[in-house]
Amino acid sequence: MADFTLDLNDDQKQVRDWLHGFAENVMRPAAAEWDEREETPWPIIQEAAKVGIYSLDFYAQQAFDPTGLGIPLTMEELFWGDAGIALSIVGTGLAAVGVLANGTEEQIGTWIPQMYGDAADVKVAAFCSSEPDAGSDVAAMRTRAVYDEARDEWVLNGTKTWATNGGIANVHVVVAVVDPELGSKGHASFIVPPGTRGLSQGQKFKKHGIRASHTAEVVLEDVRVPGGCLLGGKEKLDERLARARERSRAGEQIKNAAMATFEASRPAVGAMAVGTARAAYEVALDYAKTRQQFGRPIIDNQGVAFQLADMRTRIDAARLLVWRASWMATTGKRFTSAEGSMSKLYASEVAKDVTARAVQILGGNGYTREYPVERMHRDAAIYTIFEGTSEIQRLVIARTLGGVPIR
């Protein structure tokens, strides 16, 4: 009778264990090297493609898990392996989701395969929304897309920043302003196909963590793309803009459809954070059991043992929030209290806290690159920044609770 369970089914356990094996045997041994090289780990992505982890099919299968746990389980295991390499593997998914969410069937069928390539010739994709003056404040975006009716082409101009895989991607998905009067309602997404003239990589960033993941500026100078590269098509865009103008004239608050999408996607980032936190906790636990000081393992000191107790408790709590939000998204429950944002906020703060404590438990060794917690601590800092900072998550949660519109 009781249908509530936190037990994983056999399929989920099998996928989790398979991913764990890849994370442990392929990603972990390569993690320090690619962190130092600060380059995209192409051979590891290729390995992931060979076994079927780097493919749309695999993510689609996980996304269709009716319990909602397929994606969080995947993210947790891969990011347990290594956050930088994992982001290189799942980064393409961000662009693919942009096409799946807004594209026509034809666009999905044409562009997503080109985002991944195949095992013999792997490709990556980039999702370019953030700009130097438009990070949290997406409505401040300036990149402009203008329609050239005579040639049925869109002309894109602007500078994107912080784009994962920006400039090295085969396919770029670019968000641009089509009607500046409408703020974020006047944005649209475009495919920039491989080899398009006018798109170039700007600065490649040297980062604090997740250094195996490529992050760069993308410069768009008179980039011309065919009309068919507007995701969703011109007719749908014109209808959407007409509705938005109508509502804006009538002074109506426009319901922000993007917010529901974010609530559904944020738990995936929470799961990445849980993976990094769990990895650091496990290293710290092992170390505390074996490191002897004053004639006994350091875990015999309550000061150390209580740290581990807090770390484990917070990781489990974070995972439960992530699982709840993912389950809500998949089973169509309404996010009445911004539960997706809650899960991302909590899990990312936990990852920062747990990895910092792990460094402390390892003492001098924790501070060196001889041990992985130093890298995990640097990697964890990203979770409170990308896909909406912790402050923005709090803002979303607070406004949702207060019934105040989120723009």
Closest approach of ligand FAD to the CB of residue 270, in Å:
15
The C-alpha atoms of residue 228 and residue 108 are separated, in whole angstroms, by 12
Q: Residue 265 corresponds to which tokens in the numbers above?
A: 């996607």
Is 122 within 8 Å of 42 (Cβ atoms)?
A: yes
Stretch that binds ligand FAD, among 122-130, 306-314, 342-350, 353-361 (CB under 6 A): 122-130
Q: Tally the C-alpha atoms within 13 A of residue 112's C-alpha that lie toward its C-beta.
A: 23
In whole angstroms, how close is the CB of 262 to ligand FAD at the nearest point? 11
Query: Any catalytic annotation for residue 252?
Result: no
The total of other beta-carbon atoms located within 10 Å of residue 58's CB is: 19
Residue 385 binding ligand FAD, by CB under 6 A:
yes
- Cα gap 69→20, rounded to integer Å: 15
Q: Residue 80: phi, psi to the nearest 5?
A: -65, -40
Give which of 327, 393, 350 is closest to 358, Cα–Cα. 350
For 113-154, the DSSP string reads HHHHEETTEE--EEEE--BTTBSS-GGG---EEEEEGGGTEE
Can you tell me the distance from the alpha carbon of 54 to that of 141, in angstroms, rounded to the nearest whole number? 31
Exactly one of 47, 77, 217, 387 is catalytic; name it.
387
| Stretch in the footprint of ligand FAD (CB under 6 A) among 108-116, 195-203, 308-316, 391-399 | 391-399
Nearest approach, Cβ of residue 279 and ligand FAD (Å):
19
Q: Are 202 and 159 in contact (CB under 8 A)?
A: yes
Of residues 135 and 193, the one with the C-beta less far from ligand FAD: 135
Quote the CA–CA distance of 327 and 346 in Å, as a whole number: 17
The span of 40-48, 109-117, 123-131, 270-278 binding ligand FAD (CB under 6 A) equals 123-131
Of 103, 81, 66, residue with least CA distance to 330: 66
Joined tokens for residue 371: 């041990």
Q: How far apart are the first and last CA of the chain?
A: 43
Cβ-closest position to ligand FAD: 135
Least separation in angstroms between residue 325's CB and ligand FAD is: 19
Binding pattern to ligand FAD, positions 164-203, x when CB under 6 A?
x---------------------------------------
Residue 111 lies near ligand FAD (rule: CB under 6 A):
no
- Using the contact rule CB under 6 A, the part of the chain among 5-13, 183-191, 363-371, 386-394 near ligand FAD is 386-394
Nearer residue to ligand FAD within complex by CB, 223 or 392? 392
Query: By rule CB under 6 A, what count of residues binds ligand FAD?
Result: 21
Report 209-248 residues binding ligand FAD (CB under 6 A): 210, 215
**Which residues make Cβ contacts (< 8 Å) with residue 35, sequence separation at least 6?**
82, 84, 211, 212, 375
Among 129, 143, 307, 326, binds ligand FAD (CB under 6 A): 129
**Measured from the CB of residue 135, what is the shortest distance to ligand FAD in angstroms?**
2
Binding positions for ligand FAD, 324-383, rule CB under 6 A: 382
Residue 362 tokens, joined? 């390892």
Q: Is 34 in the site for ligand FAD (CB under 6 A)?
A: no
Among 59, 111, 116, 162, binds ligand FAD (CB under 6 A): 162
- Report the residue number, 12 or 256, with the smaller CB distance to ligand FAD: 256
Residue 389 touching ligand FAD (CB under 6 A): yes
CB of 393 to ligand FAD, least distance (A): 9
Smallest distance from the beta carbon of 91 to ligand FAD, in angstroms?
7
Cβ contacts of 184 within 8 Å, gap of 6 or more: 138, 139, 141, 256, 258, 407
- Positions in the binding site for ligand FAD (CB under 6 A): 94, 127-130, 135-136, 162-164, 207, 210, 215, 382, 385-387, 389, 391-392, 395
Just list the catalytic residues.
387
